Structure 1
Amino acid sequence: MAENNCFRIFKNGFMLQFSFNFVKLTPMTDNDSAQEDELLALGSIFDEGIVTIDQTAKEKNSLRSGCLTISPDIPNPPLKLICKYLKQSAETISENSENHITENVSYLPPICLRFILPQNYPSSGPPQYTLTSIWLDRLRLSLIANKLDSVWEEHQGQEILYTWVQIIKEDVLEFLNLDSEVSIRQADFIENSSAENLDQRVMQDIGRFSDILPAIQDYDNARQKEVFENTPFPCDICFSEKYGKNCVKFKGCGHIYCDSCLKSYFDVHIKDGNMKSLVCPEPGCESQALPFQIKNLVSEEDFKRYESILLQTTLDTMSDVMYCPRKFCQSPVLIEEDETMGMCAVCHYSFCTYCKLAYHGVEPCKLKLKKLTVICEQYQNGDDSIRKELEGKYGAKVLRETMENIESERWVAANSKPCPDCGAAIEKQSGCNKMTCYKCKCYFCWLCVHRLSKANPYTHFNTFNSKCYNKLFDGVDVDEEFMDVMYW
């Protein structure tokens, strides 16, 4: 505050007038200093995301204010969370008219405490505040507000914000009897939304009840990811320790390996076409790697190969999927149950699901299986008149395609054997008589087509009573040096 003082001096018959402005300097009060120290302490103790101070208050010479974003601690995670929705047809609110959805969460969204520090705080007056939450109804928030007020009454004259933070963070679940199970009822949100006896400083901070569970799940997933990325884990492959942001965690089993080791692991199996082998490297574990985990590690070219082979393998195991009979197409076709017609969506060819020829409606298949070989041999060995007659009866294109299919089936029958597990045709080009199915990875004996033990497939050839005893290399053309090494 400035005061204007004027002095008049008479000298040598002249009047000299001087004017001075005196400013009264008021020192910072004890309350002001305590508030400043408390906010500085909160900012140094907690992360920036928890404590937010309004920095413009000092510039505008207004009251200090800010926000405390406090996520309650869960003593023994995960915590059981039950959301109880009212049925659409329910006319009255009752337990019998609710649908329950149960989830397990490790982190709950924060409770926001927005505060303003009055000039008489902390000497005589408490902070002014509001409480908001997306998962607590107004009744529970009012109970928390009453608890904070009672704590202030006990500690009046002392800085209270840190104590309030600790209460919300460590004690609020036990105080609300939610430490073992959190039950959120839509009926409570409806009944407590406008009750007169509720604290006017509390507010439920979400528009629709149906948005509460997704909001909790999103927050829980984000926090779990954040904690995982900033925690070091040992890799059981290279035995080095790396942070979670440089690791992959398998969803089914929870085993963790570093990115560099898994990249090499994925690259080898994708190159070999073993899509079913992209599982957790832990011995005996069969948790599949998720597509996005594979995509984040391998090259774009390898991921396209992975998708292509995975799709092909999946289609081969589906009983309601066939391939278009046209060799230039071979696109997968979905066949409806009890239907005898297939329609290719790519080349628009309609075919019979039995004979794979052009669809012929209710008429029987023109070429019976027993006559296929005879007719094709007549067509192949006959003169022009016989060929012309057969072409007129069955169609030249049908006969040519049938001959190609028969030759293909003959070659497969002569050069392959069926897998005893999935029936896939397996060709043996080289190596010993212990075979591995390319489709289902089943081990079997090439000589007797017997399924072998997955743990030790060579027991079949080492057992004295086995009919394939000592025949691991039977029929294999190997040099003497290789045999000596193998027997050794």
Structure 2
Amino acid sequence: MNTDSEEQEDELLALDSIFGSGEFVRNESKSSGEIRVSVELPANFTVVLKEGQTLRKYEISFLPPLLLNFELPEHYPSSSPPSFTLTCSWLTNTQLSALTAQLLDLYQALGGTVVLFSWVQFLKEDALTFLDIQNVLELPNDEYEGQDTPSASVSEANPSTSSLLSSSSSGELDQTGQGAASLPVPTREPLQTEDEILSGLTPSQILMSQILIYNADQKQKVFDGTVFECSVCFMVFLGSVCVQLSECGHVFCRACLAEFCKVQITEGNVEAVTCPQADCTASPTPAQVKSLVGDDLFSRYDRLLLQSSLDQMPDVVYCPRLSCGSAVIREQSGTAALCSVCRFAFCVTCRKTYHGPDDCMGKKQQTVTDDQGDHMNLPESHEGIKALLDDYANGSKERKQLLEKRYGQRILLVTVEEIMSEQWLATNTQNCPHCYSKIQRDGGCSLMTCSRCRELFYWASVAGRPAKGSRGHF
């Protein structure tokens, strides 16, 4: 083995030990390989795409790597440089040509010594400065076509991401025996689903999209390998078993956050599915909630969250049919509402079949007259109605028949049902002192939390004093 061969083998072994399998791939059959070079970005680095009058800006931490495909000729490093191809998705052909020329100049400057590691360091640390790219990378606009725009070929920039539109430039010297043909760039056909997804986008939009995807993937890899302390159980975990809320940046172990969300959803407090950190109102994304609690609880969460939103809308009422209960948008100019699901037209005031512009009580009395003949009107006072119903409920058979003939059997039965409902509500519910929603308690402590406005209040006993020894549930 001559000196050049020994130096080539030593250099390839050194590269294999320095870089991981995701950065350096060696071709064992000959002295060649591929190096993926991740360029170091300054803080607050921004990628910009101009589309007509719209300027899209995204702050990123990682750009897809440059691909350096090389082959070492017989007389490298003594008298010949490596034959190579430099490929990148986000640089123009002109920029790649400038980098290629600089790499060849570096070989000449080092005077016939191994150069691959020096090339990698230059591309990693100094490529942006050399190209006069400071804190902003402006992607080429699709309106300007030519040699300076990324070509239409597709290269496998990173096997963990989608294929990227790429530009490439080959390293060549003059025809004095020091140059060599460049290696072909490995290519692959895009997946069919990827073609369908990208078919409606311009090349620049595709490039921007895939830069953002790569950036997100790399940030997740960094997060997965970082150690965090869970703010709930105060134990230390790798980021791979943690969840970070995007709104506030707080990190929790997956088990603690999942249990917290499950409890809130099971109890119906979907508005409490927020950051467990004290005084933080940020919320996990729907995708995070679904991954934490599973499909069944997420369906309940989604439904209750919609219900809570509708409850806070003043123009939304619910269909009074027990078999339906769908949300209905009411007309502010009247009291009529039509359910779009079961087609039931009802009065938003009394929740009965719509009776026209007449008041609800007058229509109820008129309906009884129309259905059952001429009957007497019910007493107007609440006390009078209560006395009549007591008489009807406790009277003899003959007395009941007399009252039914006088007032109508259906109206008496309907009124009894309504009075009983009102009595049950009066006995078993109280209004929230803040939003006046009806609240039911089935036991527990007297300190309550309103499920609508989330305000705290004490459940008052019949005597007006706080009750003790019971647990609240909504």
* Distance in 2 of aligned mates of 1:138 and 1:403: 86
Using structure 1 for the length normalisation, give the TM-score: 0.70
Match of 1:387 in 2: 408
Match of 2:40 in 1: 73
CA contact (8 A) 1:138 1:189 kept: no
Match of 1:246 in 2: 241
Q: Relative to structure 1, is the Cα distance of residues 400 and 321 closer, same or farther in structure 2, using a 3 angstrom cutoff?
A: farther
Q: Relative to structure 1, is the Cα distance of residues 260 and 415 closer, same or farther in structure 2, using a 3 angstrom cutoff?
A: closer
1:108 Cα shift? 0.9
1:269 Cα shift? 2.4
AA paired with 1:99? T
Match of 2:14 in 1: 41
Match of 2:305 in 1: 310
Deviations 1:232-262 (A, max 9, x none): 1122332221101111111111111112222
1:419 is aligned, of 432, 436, 451, to 432
2:286 is aligned, of 286, 291, 294, to 291
1:172 aligns with 2:127: yes
* Distance in 1 of aligned mates of 2:301 and 2:322: 24
Deviations 1:110-151 (A, max 9, x none): 111222222222111111222222222222222222221221
Higher deviation after alignment, 105-114 or 426-435: 426-435
1:199 Cα shift? 8.6
Match of 1:143 in 2: 98
* Distance in 2 of aligned mates of 1:350 and 1:112: 68
* Distance in 2 of aligned mates of 1:151 and 1:341: 83
1:303 Cα shift? 3.8
1:288 Cα shift? 0.9
Q: Relative to structure 1, is the Cα distance of residues 338 and 383 closer, same or farther in structure 2, using a 3 angstrom cutoff?
A: closer
AA paired with 1:332? A
1:329 Cα shift? 1.6
1:37 Cα shift? 1.8
Q: Relative to structure 1, is the Cα distance of residues 426 and 181 closer, same or farther in structure 2, using a 3 angstrom cutoff?
A: same
* Distance in 2 of aligned mates of 1:252 and 1:231: 19
For residues 41-440 of structure 1, the aligned pairs below 5 Å read: 41-55=14-28, 57-58=29-30, 64-76=31-43, 78-85=44-51, 87=52, 98-186=53-141, 190-193=145-148, 201=170, 208-298=203-293, 301-335=296-330, 342-353=337-348, 356-358=351-353, 363-365=356-358, 367=360, 382-384=403-405, 386-387=407-408, 408-409=421-422, 411-412=424-425, 415-427=428-440, 434-440=447-453
AA paired with 1:37? D
* Distance in 2 of aligned mates of 1:407 and 1:136: 77
AA paired with 1:79? F
For residues 475-486 of structure 1, the aligned pairs below 5 Å read: 475-476=465-466
AA paired with 2:96? L
* Distance in 2 of aligned mates of 1:117 and 1:327: 80
* Distance in 2 of aligned mates of 1:436 and 1:369: 39
* Distance in 2 of aligned mates of 1:474 and 1:364: 40
1:228 Cα shift? 0.8
Using structure 2 for the length normalisation, give the TM-score: 0.72
* Distance in 1 of aligned mates of 2:244 and 2:99: 38
Bigger CA radius of gyration = 1
CA contact (8 A) 2:274 2:282 kept: yes
1:175 Cα shift? 2.0
1:219 Cα shift? 0.3
AA paired with 2:209? P
Instruction: Give the RMSD, CA atoms, in angstroms.
Output: 3.8
Deviations 1:299-336 (A, max 9, x none): 55544443343333233223343211112221223557
CA contact (8 A) 1:83 1:102 kept: yes
* Distance in 2 of aligned mates of 1:157 and 1:477: 91
Higher deviation after alignment, 424-433 or 44-53: 424-433
Match of 2:400 in 1: none
User: 1:115 aligns to what SS in structure 2?
Assistant: strand
Q: Which runs of 5+ in 2 are unaligned?
A: 151-166, 172-184, 188-197, 366-377, 393-402
AA paired with 1:44? S
AA paired with 2:455? C
Q: Relative to structure 1, is the Cα distance of residues 408 and 51 closer, same or farther in structure 2, using a 3 angstrom cutoff?
A: same
1:408 Cα shift? 3.7
Q: Relative to structure 1, is the Cα distance of residues 126 and 81 closer, same or farther in structure 2, using a 3 angstrom cutoff?
A: same
CA contact (8 A) 2:87 2:168 kept: no
Q: Relative to structure 1, is the Cα distance of residues 354 and 48 closer, same or farther in structure 2, using a 3 angstrom cutoff?
A: same
1:434 Cα shift? 4.4
* Distance in 2 of aligned mates of 1:374 and 1:48: 90
Deviations 1:82-112 (A, max 9, x none): 1112x3xxxxxxxxxx420011111111111
Match of 2:455 in 1: 442
* Distance in 1 of aligned mates of 2:10 and 2:117: 12
Higher deviation after alignment, 269-278 or 422-431: 422-431
Q: Relative to structure 1, is the Cα distance of residues 194 and 110 closer, same or farther in structure 2, using a 3 angstrom cutoff?
A: closer
Deviations 1:436-473 (A, max 9, x none): 212221123556xxxxxxxxxxxxxxxxxxxxxxx9x9
Q: How many matched pairs?
A: 398
1:214 Cα shift? 0.6
Higher deviation after alignment, 267-276 or 430-439: 430-439
Match of 1:32 in 2: 5
Higher relative contact order (CA 8 A, sep 6+): 2
Q: Relative to structure 1, is the Cα distance of residues 315 and 402 closer, same or farther in structure 2, using a 3 angstrom cutoff?
A: farther
User: 1:233 aligns to what SS in structure 2?
Assistant: strand
AA paired with 1:311? L
Higher deviation after alignment, 363-372 or 66-75: 363-372
